[in-house]
């Protein structure tokens, strides 16, 4: 009743011209839609025989109706079709209604990554907040959207705990004492010694040997003395220099060492904090790590050839990693007072109001509201009256500000102020606060008039790596590529570091296009790939030296190139043993076309009867027979099936190899599981809704290239979503079209697209 009353109230205030437009929309629905979406029948739980003002109130419904009409998906092909002019006219009216109903951009808080980077840039200290701040929720693949930034009591307490953790470490009571610890083979421990029976970790004279990668058992960790197995524990928070003497043996290529946190005696929950690339012939490495009190270090041989699925005691003949010495120095103190202490307390004594204003400006670059300012001053005044030191007082004020909405939430006016615009740009490209140079450009008006120079400076800064890492991780879901396997019983020659390289390829591809100003059409197809030594070997390309990614020209007949030919994407959209055409097709629609394809939450999808089907193709075609599924699956399935000639780890194949896990068999006291393999021919030909046939990867890429305008606009929409922290809608169409048109003369350069997004007037709006 309340919603209905609001509808009539809204109608009463609409101008006559808008009312006439709405009546035209209602008339179109009555003639072409209400038979299936009216009082008697509501296919897909959609009802259109109601006042347009009621439909307007449901933003998702309005978007969906406009989208399916524009795509020609409705009315269905078997129904009478309206004239093209009538469809164009109603679409124009719906677009105008969408623009008038454009929702406000919701309040956004700092994500965990943004919070981490901000603390680093403000105080010059590396923090790991994964155990303090909860992970962020995502909306449409991104964690920056305000809709996902709910604040629970648990999260408030997490921010308080995190603020205390920060304040205690940036404002310590005394200078930390730097110490040095040295460990040789007498202090090294690892997994059970299988030296006499086969594989495992063992001592060999003055070296300790790792032969395999077994996350649950194979590692080298440090004891406190030669006679004890008690692990060495980091005594205090700070930066530590780690110098390791290690070498690979029986290897003719570079290898990878993992540095992990966790108890090496029970390493089921190791946290990898760094991977060190060891070039062939290397004798060791030096690195610096920020560690916390209580941390325990352990080393793993991440590029080992033995994945460790089997515990059989077979002699190890492959490469191994030999450690002879570890030296640890820290906490390192370059200057005292530290840079962070000087930034927080520029003077030895500060009055309460002076301290609060300084810290607020440092953290937020804007003055506090008078009422809130007084509350923070009271905290400082109370501390000083109690006899607290200046450091302790500053610590209390810092904790209060870090847990306040002034810091946690981003300030955005309807028309962004110059400083707010600088913050939006900085959190777009650096995932952190603006630096002094960017703020100066903003306050002087230069950023508003011509942002090109500042954007170029920021893209050339090492901090732009954060944008590359974070955007590609979320857009391409790179963090999920290594979620499983590969199972060595099925994919015997696919090493885990090759899978790690697969997960990195998409990011390095994006980086190469951005840094070199190349066309976004390369995302669809390219005549090169980004590869390191392992990935080049996996793809059968000319050898690449080392772990770093470089562009590699593809042979003339290669099907690789573009995102959908990358092994990481093909593995991401598969299961342990099988490919998933639906996952592959839906990934393309979501991430390249930027389409929303989730079924409505209130639509009941009954699984079709697929008994009697003998192939994946038959099962999917039966699934398409469901009325509630057919609209999306007619678009999804052809895209996914065209990729069936690539297996679950992205290798070319000519037939299916179905895998069935048989019941465990007992041999003596052990149980073993065997696999059964069946081969089935592949038939990947299908037709897109346009009638175009796709049957393999080359024809799929040709079809995608024919849709290049739609795909490039989809990718531009992804970039805008990330930059603004909200989902793009049809209301953003002119924004996206403007960016697309402005970069056409630059061959649709990814770098120029970033510039165009920032220069557009919409970038300065909430």
The three-state (H, E, C) secondary structure of 185-251, written as one string: HHHEECCCCCCCCCCCCEEECCEEEECECCCCCCCEEEECCCCCCCECCCCCCEEEEEEEEEEEECC
**Average confidence score pLDDT of the chain:** 86
User: Is there a domain that residue 456 lies in?
Assistant: no
pLDDT band at 606 (very low <50, low <70, confident <90, very high): very low
pLDDT of 13: 43
Out of 215-219, 223-227, 555-559, the most confident range is: 555-559
Residue 412, in any domain of the structure: no
Give the burial class of 371: count Cβ atoms within 10 A of its Cβ; 0-12 exposed, 13-18 middle, 19 or more buried: exposed
**Contacts for 504 with CB less than 8 Å, ≥ 6 apart:** 478, 532, 549, 568
Least confident segment among 207-216, 457-466, 586-595, 696-705: 207-216
Count structural domains, the chain: 4
In whole angstroms, give the CA distance from residue 379 to residue 755: 44
Q: Is 605's pLDDT higher than 60?
A: no
Q: What pTM did the predictor assign?
A: 0.87
Q: Which of 403, 402, 356 is nearest to 382 (CA)?
A: 356
Residues 760, 666, single domain; the answer is: no
Q: Where does residue 543 rank: exposed (0-12), middle (13-18), buried (19+ CB within 10 A)?
A: exposed
The pLDDT, as a whole number, for residue 427 is 97
| Inter-residue contact 726 to 145 (CB < 8 Å) | yes
Where is the domain boundary, 313, 330, 347?
Answer: 330
According to the model, what pLDDT value does residue 310 have?
Answer: 42
pLDDT band at 397 (very low <50, low <70, confident <90, very high): very high
CA 106 to chain centroid, in Å, comes to: 21
Do 600 and 634 lie in one domain? The reply is: yes
Helix-then-strand count for the chain, H and E: 27, 19
pLDDT of residue 215: 52
- DSSP states of 515-570 as a string? HTT-BGGGGT--SEEEE-HHHHHHHTPSP--SSS-EEEEPPTT----SGGG-HHHH
Q: What is the chain's alpha carbon radius of gyration, rounded to the nearest angstrom?
A: 30
Domain boundary among 670, 700, 730: 700
Least-confidence region, from 36-40, 251-255, 551-555, 744-748: 36-40
Confidence at residue 311, expressed as pLDDT on a 0 to 100 scale: 42
Domain boundary among 100, 133, 155: 100
> Is the model's pLDDT at 114 over the cut of 60?
yes
Mean pLDDT, residues 471-480:
93
Q: CA 300, CA 264: separation in Å to the nearest integer?
A: 10
Domain shared by 669 and 714, yes or no: no
pLDDT above 90 coverage of the chain, percent: 60
Q: How would residue 226 be classed by pLDDT, with cut points 50, 70 and 90?
A: confident
Are 486 and 619 part of one and the same domain? yes
Q: What backbone torsions phi and psi does residue 491 show, to the nearest 5 degrees?
A: -115, 75
Which residues contact residue 751 at a Cβ distance below 8 angstroms, ignoring those fewer than 6 apart? 459, 513, 514, 515, 516, 517
Residue 382 within a domain: no
Average pLDDT (430-455) is 96
Q: How confident is the model at residue 617 (pLDDT cuts 50, 70, 90)?
A: low
CA neighbours closer than 13 Å in the CB half-sphere of residue 594: 24
Q: Does residue 472 lie in a domain region? A: no
**Residues 149-183 pLDDT 10s:** 888 888 899 999 999 999 999 999 899 999 999 99
Residue 627's pLDDT band (boundaries 50, 70, 90)? Answer: low
> How far is Cα 709 from Cα 571, in angstroms, rounded to an integer?
27
Is the pLDDT at 352 greater than 90? The verdict is yes
pLDDT of residue 33: 82
Q: Tell me what the mean pLDDT of segment 525-534 comes to.
A: 97
Residues 688 and 748 in one domain: no
Does any domain span residue 225? Answer: yes
Q: Is residue 47 domain-shared with residue 184, that is, in the same domain? A: no
Same-domain check for residues 191 and 311? yes
Same domain, 236 and 90: no
- Comparing 673 with 760, the larger pLDDT belongs to 760
Distance CA 510, CA 503 (A): 13
pLDDT surpassing 70 at residue 239: yes
Residue recorded with tokens 């390289």: 501
**CATH label of the domain that carries residue 200:** 2.60.120.260
- DSSP string of 652-702? B-SEEEEEEEPPPEEETTEEE--EEEEEEE----EE-TTS-EE-SHHHHHH
CA–CA separation, 497 vs 276, rounded Å? 12
> 711 pLDDT exceeds 60?
yes
| Residue 395, pLDDT above cutoff 70 | yes
Mean pLDDT over 436-465 rounds to 97
Lowest-pLDDT range of 147-156, 269-278, 450-459, 724-733: 147-156
Report phi then psi at 342, rounded to 5. Answer: -70, -35
Closest CA to 211 of 300, 136, 291: 300
Domain assignment of residue 662, yes or no: yes
Question: How much is the pLDDT for 71?
Answer: 73
How much of the chain, in percent, has pLDDT values that exceed 70?
A: 87
**Residue 744 resides in a domain:** yes
Note whether 67 and 195 are same-domain residues.
no
Are residue 606 and residue 691 in the same domain, yes or no? yes
The whole-number average pLDDT for the span 230-254 is 95
- Residue 10 pLDDT: 36
DSSP letter at 74 equals S
Q: Report the sign of the C-alpha dihedral through residues 576, 578, 581, 584, in that order.
A: positive
Q: Does an H or E element contain 504, and which?
A: helix 496-515
Distant-in-sequence contacts of 74-82, Cβ < 8 A, 24+ apart:
74/33, 75/32, 75/33, 75/36, 79/32, 79/35, 79/36, 80/32, 82/28, 82/31, 82/32
Tell me whether residue 361 is in a domain. Answer: no
pLDDT beyond 80 at 431: yes
Residue 314 has pLDDT above 70, yes or no: no
Give the Cα-Cα-Cα angle 627, 630, 634 (nearest 5 degrees).
165
- 684 and 736 share a domain? no
pLDDT (mean) for 330-348: 93
| Domain with 540 in it | 481-506+524-700
The answer on 255 and 186 residing in a single domain is yes
Helix (H, G, I), strand (E, B), or coil: what is residue 638? Answer: helix
Res. 434 pLDDT band, cuts 50 70 90: very high
Q: pLDDT-based confidence at 123, cuts 50/70/90?
A: very high
Distances (CA, A) of 503 to 563, 584, 647, 650, 752: 12, 16, 16, 12, 26
pLDDT for 516 beyond 70: yes
Confidence of residue 604 (pLDDT cuts 50, 70, 90): very low
């Amino acid at each position: 009743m309340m919603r209905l009353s609001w509808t009539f109230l809204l109608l009463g205030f609409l101008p006559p011209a808008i009312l006439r437009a709405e009546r035209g929309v209602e008339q179109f629905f009555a003639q072409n839609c209400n038979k299936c979406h009216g009082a008697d029948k509501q296919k897909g739980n959609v009802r259109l025989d109601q006042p347009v003002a009621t439909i307007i109130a449901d933003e998702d419904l309005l978007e969906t109706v406009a989208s399916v009409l524009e795509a020609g998906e409705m009315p269905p092909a078997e129904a009478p079709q309206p004239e093209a002019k009538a469809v164009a006219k109603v679409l124009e009216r719906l677009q105008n209604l969408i623009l008038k109903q454009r929702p406000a951009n919701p309040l956004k808080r700092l994500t965990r990554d943004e919070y981490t980077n901000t603390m680093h840039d403000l105080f010059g200290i590396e923090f790991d907040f994964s155990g303090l701040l909860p992970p962020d929720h995502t909306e449409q693949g991104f964690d920056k959207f305000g809709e996902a930034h709910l604040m629970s009591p648990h999260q408030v307490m997490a921010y308080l705990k995190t603020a205390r953790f920060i304040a205690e470490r940036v404002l310590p009571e005394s200078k930390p004492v730097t110490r040095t610890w040295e460990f040789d083979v007498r202090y090294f421990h690892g997994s059970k010694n299988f030296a006499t029976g086969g594989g495992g970790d063992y001592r060999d004279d003055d070296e300790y040997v790792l032969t395999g990668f077994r996350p649950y058992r194979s590692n080298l960790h440090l004891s406190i003395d030669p006679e004890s197995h008690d692990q060495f524990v980091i005594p205090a928070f700070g930066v530590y220099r780690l110098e390791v003497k290690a070498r690979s043996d029986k290897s003719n290529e570079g290898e990878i060492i993992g540095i992990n946190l966790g108890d090496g005696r029970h390493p089921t929950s190791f946290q990898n904090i760094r991977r060190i690339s060891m070039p062939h012939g290397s004798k060791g490495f030096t690195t610096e790590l920020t560690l916390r009190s209580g941390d325990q270090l352990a080393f793993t041989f991440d590029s080992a050839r033995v994945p460790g699925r089997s515990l059989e005691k077979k002699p190890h003949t492959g490469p191994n990693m030999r450690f002879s010495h570890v030296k640890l120095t820290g906490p390192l103190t370059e200057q005292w007072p530290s840079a962070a202490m000087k930034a927080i307390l520029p003077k030895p004594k500060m009055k309460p109001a002076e301290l609060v204003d300084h810290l607020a400006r440092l953290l937020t670059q804007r003055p506090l509201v008078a009422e809130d300012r007084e509350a923070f001053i009271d905290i400082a005044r109370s501390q000083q009256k109690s006899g607290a030191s200046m450091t302790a007082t500053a610590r209390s004020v810092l904790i209060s500000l870090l847990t306040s909405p002034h810091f946690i939430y981003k300030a955005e006016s309807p028309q962004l102020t110059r400083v707010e615009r600088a913050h939006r740009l900085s959190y777009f490209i650096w995932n952190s606060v603006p630096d002094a140079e960017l703020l100066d450009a903003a306050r002087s008006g230069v950023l508003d008039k011509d942002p090109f120079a500042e954007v170029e400076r920021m893209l050339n800064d090492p901090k732009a790596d954060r944008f590359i890492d974070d955007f590609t991780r979320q857009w391409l879901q790179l963090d999920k590529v290594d979620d499983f396997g590969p199972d060595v019983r099925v994919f015997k020659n696919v090493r885990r570091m090759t899978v790690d390289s697969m997960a990195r390829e998409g990011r390095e591809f994006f980086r190469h296009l951005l840094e070199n100003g190349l066309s976004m059409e390369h995302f669809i197809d390219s005549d090169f790939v980004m590869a390191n030594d392992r990935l080049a070997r996996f793809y059968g390309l000319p050898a690449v030296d080392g772990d770093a990614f470089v562009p590699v020209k593809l042979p003339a007949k290669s099907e690789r190139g573009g995102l959908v030919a990358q092994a990481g994407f093909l593995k991401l959209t598969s299961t342990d043993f099988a490919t998933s055409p639906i996952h592959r097709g839906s990934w393309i629609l979501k991430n390249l076309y930027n389409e929303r394809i989730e079924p409505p939450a209130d639509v009941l999808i009954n699984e079709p009867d697929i008994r009697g089907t003998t192939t994946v193709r038959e099962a999917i075609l039966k699934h398409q027979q469901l009325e509630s599924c057919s609209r999306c699956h007619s678009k999804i399935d052809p895209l996914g099936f065209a990729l069936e000639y690539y297996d679950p780890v992205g290798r070319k194949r000519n037939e299916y190899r179905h895998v069935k896990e048989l019941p465990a068999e007992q041999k003596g006291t052990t149980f073993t599981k065997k696999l059964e393999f069946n081969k089935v021919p592949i038939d990947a030909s299908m037709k897109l809704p346009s009638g175009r046939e796709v049957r393999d990867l080359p024809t799929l890429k040709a079809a995608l290239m024919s849709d290049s305008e739609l795909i490039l606009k989809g990718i531009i929409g992804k970039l805008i979503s990330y930059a603004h922290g909200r989902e793009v809608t049809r209301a953003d169409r002119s924004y996206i079209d403007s960016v697309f048109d402005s970069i056409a003369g630059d061959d649709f350069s990814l770098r120029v697209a970033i510039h165009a997004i920032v220069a557009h007037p919409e970038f300065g709006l909430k």
